[in-house]
Amino acid sequence: MSRYLVLLPAPEAEWAQLPPEDHEKGMRAHQRFNAELREGGHRVVVASPLRPSGEALSMRPDGQGGTLVTEGPFTESVEQIVGFYLIETDDPDGLRRICEQLSSTGDLIELRRLAGASDE
């Protein structure tokens, strides 16, 4: 069984300004996504939204053997990862179809297979 990471990038500033009915529409799309995953035999290992990137801690080498820690996002980007799903499946094509359906409702998705023992 392979594991896939479904990353959900989004423009945080725009998302924060959406009216409540758009947020409710997004919640319904994710409820449908979860139902389709279950019906397709895919197992959600863990899934979660993430706190805003402005609350992140960024860590990078300081060039002297230590670490520079700063508050806020590491990357300068309009889009940040706002949530994720870790999914186990034996049906990558089925998972892709379900992800395409979610994306068609407005979500941006990056689907990535995890490296590991199942790569053989």
HSE on the CB side for 87, CA within 13 Å?
26
Going by the DSSP 8-state scheme, the letter that residue 29 receives in this structure is H
Q: Model-level pTM?
A: 0.84
Structural domain boundaries, residue 113: 2-119
Instruction: Count how many domains the chain has.
Output: 1
- pLDDT surpasses 60 at 119: no
Residue 105 CB neighbours (<10 A): 13
pLDDT band per the 50, 70, 90 thresholds, residue 15: confident
The token pair that represents 50 in the structure block = 């993430």
Q: Is the predicted pLDDT of residue 106 greater than 70, yes or no?
A: yes
Give the pLDDT band of residue 59 (cuts 50, 70, 90): confident
With H, G, I as helix, E, B as strand and everything else as coil, classify residue 110: strand
CA–CA dist 59, 71 (Å, integer): 9
Q: Among 13-17, 18-22, 50-54, whose mean pLDDT is lowest? A: 13-17
Query: Where residue 103 sits, what CATH number does that domain have?
Result: 3.30.70.1060
